[in-house]
Homo-oligomer: A and B are copies of this chain.
Amino acid sequence: MSSYIEFDAKKVIDYITNLGSFFDKDASLSCYEFGDGNLNLVFRVQDTQENSIIVKQALPYARCVGESWPLTLDRARIEASVLQRHGEICPDTTAKVLHHNTELALTVLEDLGHLRILRGELNQANTFTRLSKDVANYLAKTSFYHSSFYLTPSEKKALVTEFTNPELCAITEDLFFDDPYRDAERNNFPAALQPSVEMLRKNKALLVEVAKLKAQFLNAPETLLHGDVHTGSIFVDAKHTKLIDPEFGFFGPIGFDLGSFIGNLLLNYCAQHARINALPKRRNMQVYLLDCIATTLSSFYATWLELAKTHTRDLSLQADGYAEYFLTKVLQDAVGYCGCELIRRTIGLAHVADIDAIEDEDARLAVQQRALHLGELLIINANKCQTTDDVYQLIISFVN
């Protein structure tokens, strides 16, 4: 990484001009930085003919904290490689990589600026018919084709090594599984939530379930995960769903991405109690979110099972009934990770705008209590679910 330098708009234009691949030779290019993430610079480069591309460069530190939190540039390689691998399987739902330079930790991506970030759209109560099926399809296919059902053991072992991502995994390990359950400096919640947080931390059964989920996160290289499937990592419009930002990608438990996605839908569900006052409109949005969850679950399950029945290459794993057993475990894991996501986004370091942007303090607190309690109940009850319908029934028995 010795040749790394941090880019600015001028350097980006020089670099792109030099590559000579994306615009007419004599195009007049402009460029601006617009990243609002925590870890990267994001530039848009455009000509005067409405052609544009995105240039993303990883910073050697976490932008939100400053240069005091150094962070490996290797994540840019991992992000580009995950996008390429997932893109081969699901080209329609994965942001396209046009170029990657590992030394510069720099990736050129298709510009998805004509789409919108899902989180903002949900916060405005905009709905998307394709969303759940597209995400389910992406999660099922990318996870199946990187699992032991499909890859030979030696192919998979080589990929596990290639996608070893200790520094970004450590962020998840800490923020997702550790901090929320103890006094940690990075936690972030209002004093009024303290009693609820204390109750949570006293629940011994919960702590054991969280330990199981963390151990699984550490010790189950089941597939090449996206690693950060929240609603801010998904671009949408009526006809498109595009996953971006898999820099947390690594080989982990299949239920993790699925649970993260559903968790973010449920965070939005909880937030809508304070976001929409008009009851019919609120119920419509919440029904949409629950439908999304139901469809994601059933579509993920059906797609995975069909792939397992028709494309499993491992002889032992073809055993009659094994895929169903495996998927039940994936569902249980997903419910658990979903619960963790609800909890850590409410009291941990990284929050969601769905909740944080609620202006009324009391209403926000009520939403936080709701999210926290829902997370706890899901984690505790995850292992009761045998089918996707069990998961759905569990969720609707605890929400509202």
Residues in chain B near residue A215, CB distance under 8 A:
148, 316-317, 322, 326
Can you give 5 A-B contacts (C-beta < 8 A)?
Answer: A154-B167, A208-B319, A210-B316, A211-B322, A219-B221
Query: Which residue of chain B has the shortest Cβ distance to A317 in the bound complex?
Result: B211
Residues in chain B near residue A354, CB distance under 8 A:
none
Residues in chain B near residue A219, CB distance under 8 A:
148, 220-222
Is there a chain B Cβ closer than 8 Å to A321's Cβ?
yes
- Bound: A320/B210 CA distance, A: 11
Is chain A's binding surface mostly helix, strand, loop or mixed?
Answer: helix
Asked if B153 and A204 sit within 8 Å, CB to CB, the answer is: no
How many of A's residues come within 8 Å of B, CB to CB?
42
Asked if A316 and B164 sit within 8 Å, CB to CB, the answer is: no
Residues in chain B near residue A153, CB distance under 8 A:
166, 169-170, 173, 218
Is there a chain B Cβ closer than 8 Å to A161's Cβ?
yes
The 7 closest A-B pairs by CB, nearest first: A207-B319, A154-B166, A211-B322, A211-B319, A214-B316, A148-B218, A157-B166
Determine, out of A78-86, A174-182, A341-349, the stretch whose residues face the partner at the interface: A174-182
Is there a chain B Cβ closer than 8 Å to A212's Cβ?
yes
Residues in chain B near residue A317, CB distance under 8 A:
211, 214-215
Residues in chain B near residue A177, CB distance under 8 A:
316
| A positions within 8 Å CB-CB of B | 148, 153-154, 156-158, 160-161, 164, 166-167, 169-170, 173, 177-178, 181-182, 204, 207-208, 210-212, 214-215, 218-222, 314-322, 325-326
Residues in chain B near residue A148, CB distance under 8 A:
215, 218-219
A317 to chain B, nearest CB (A): 5
Asked if B315 and A218 sit within 8 Å, CB to CB, the answer is: no
A178 contact from B167, B316, B326, Cβ within 8 A: B316
Asked if B178 and A315 sit within 8 Å, CB to CB, the answer is: yes
Q: How many copies does the complex hold?
A: 2
Asked if B319 and A210 sit within 8 Å, CB to CB, the answer is: yes
- Bound: A314/B178 CA distance, A: 9
- Bound: A220/B160 CA distance, A: 12
Query: Which residue of chain B has the shortest Cβ distance to A179 in the bound complex?
Result: B315
- Bound: A221/B153 CA distance, A: 13
Residues in chain B near residue A207, CB distance under 8 A:
316, 319-320, 322
Residues in chain B near residue A220, CB distance under 8 A:
219-220
Contacts A148-B218, A219-B148, A316-B177 hold; do A325 and B170 have CB atoms under 8 A apart?
no
- Bound: A380/B182 CA distance, A: 40
Residues in chain B near residue A208, CB distance under 8 A:
319-322, 325
A65 to chain B, nearest CB (A): 19
Query: Which residue of chain B has the shortest Cβ distance to A154 in the bound complex?
Result: B166
- Bound: A220/B325 CA distance, A: 17
Asked if A182 and B315 sit within 8 Å, CB to CB, the answer is: yes
- Bound: A212/B319 CA distance, A: 10
- Bound: A182/B315 CA distance, A: 9
- Bound: A23/B30 CA distance, A: 75
A218 to chain B, nearest CB (A): 5
A256 to chain B, nearest CB (A): 13
Query: Which residue of chain B has the shortest Cβ distance to A152 in the bound complex?
Result: B170
Contacts A218-B148, A220-B219 hold; do A319 and B157 have CB atoms under 8 A apart?
no
A142 to chain B, nearest CB (A): 17
Residues in chain B near residue A158, CB distance under 8 A:
164, 166
- Bound: A182/B215 CA distance, A: 34
Given A153-B166, A204-B321, 8 other A-B residues pairs in contact with their CB atoms under 8 A: A148-B219, A153-B169, A178-B316, A204-B319, A207-B316, A207-B322, A208-B322, A211-B319
Contacts A156-B218, A220-B219 hold; do A316 and B211 have CB atoms under 8 A apart?
yes
